[in-house]
Amino acid sequence: MRNLLLLTCLLTIPLTSCIRHWSVLHATEPSPLVGQRWFKMMNIDYSQLIVNNTPEAIYASEMDPFKLEDWQADKEAIELNFAEALQITASDYSIQVGEKGDFVISPSIVRIDTGAYQIPAYRAVARIYLALEISDSEGAILDEIQMNAEFPWKFFNASSSSRLQSMATQLGTWAGDYLIQRTGRK
């Protein structure tokens, strides 16, 4: 029995590490990113953001000043966590993501479900839907992907802010994995 359990664990490790967490909308082939090491990262674009089925402008206009301040802080934390996770993941394969590069990474968050105010609470699932474009220095889009992360409510992570930050980190890691794959480093 113990050997069967060990064998099951060993067989599932490679499978879980190969799972792709993105949907490719367009990928230029052959990849012009192969061998590239320097990428410029743009700030996350929130211009098309829908929050809990409401355009962000309306969602924000209905908040009191303190909650609006918290919401802006949440978006800043999402940006920071996403960028840090992407940079750390890519740097493990000698890929630099920062303020300069011949290729441009443009993330945009198009939808956030905060998972707040769901009854019963165990159904509260927060989600972030992210679109990512990689373009050349002239602005031609080379790759487009979409990915989403979700985080269910649990007693120890009841705050929607902490769930959003965790999902941003996960999305940044997945974006780094995509970049590693497209540059031919994995």
What distance in Å separates the CA atoms of residue 126 and residue 115, rounded to the nearest whole number? Answer: 4
Residues 6+ apart with CB under 8 A from 8: none
Asked whether the predicted pLDDT for residue 53 surpasses 70, the reply is yes
pLDDT score, position 186: 78
Least Cα distance to 168 among 54, 91, 53, 83 occurs for 83
DSSP assignment of 141-178 equals EEEEEEEEEEEE--GGG--HHHHHHHHHHHHHHHHHHH
26 pLDDT above the threshold of 50: yes
Distance CA 78, CA 166 (A): 8
Domain boundaries, the chain: 22-182
Of the chain, the percentage scoring pLDDT greater than 70 comes to: 82
In the predicted model, what is the mean pLDDT of residues 117-139?
Answer: 82
Centre a 10 Å sphere on the Cβ of residue 50 and count the other Cβ atoms it contains.
16
C-alpha distances (whole Å) from 32 to each of 45, 71, 144, 165 are 24, 38, 14, 32
Structure token digits, residue 23: 């949907």
Identify the residue with better confidence: 159 or 52. Answer: 52
Fold classification of 22-182 is Rossmann fold (3.40.50)
pLDDT at res. 20: 75
Which of helix, strand or coil describes residue 98? strand
Q: Per-residue pLDDT for 52 more than 50?
A: yes
Higher pLDDT, 80 or 2: 80
Is pLDDT of 61 > 60?
yes
Averaged over 76-89, what is the pLDDT?
97
Torsion of CA 146, 170, 103, 98, to 10 degrees: 150
Structure token pair of residue 90: 């890519």
Q: What's the pLDDT score for residue 15?
A: 41
The model's pLDDT over 133-182, given as tens digits with 9 standing for 90+, comes to 999 999 999 999 999 998 876 655 557 778 889 999 999 999 999 999 99
CA distance 50 to 23: 20
Whether pLDDT at 3 is above 60 = no
Give the SS3 label for residue 108.
strand
Query: What are the structure tokens assigned to 169, written together?
Result: 């980190």
Averaged pLDDT score across all residues of the chain: 86
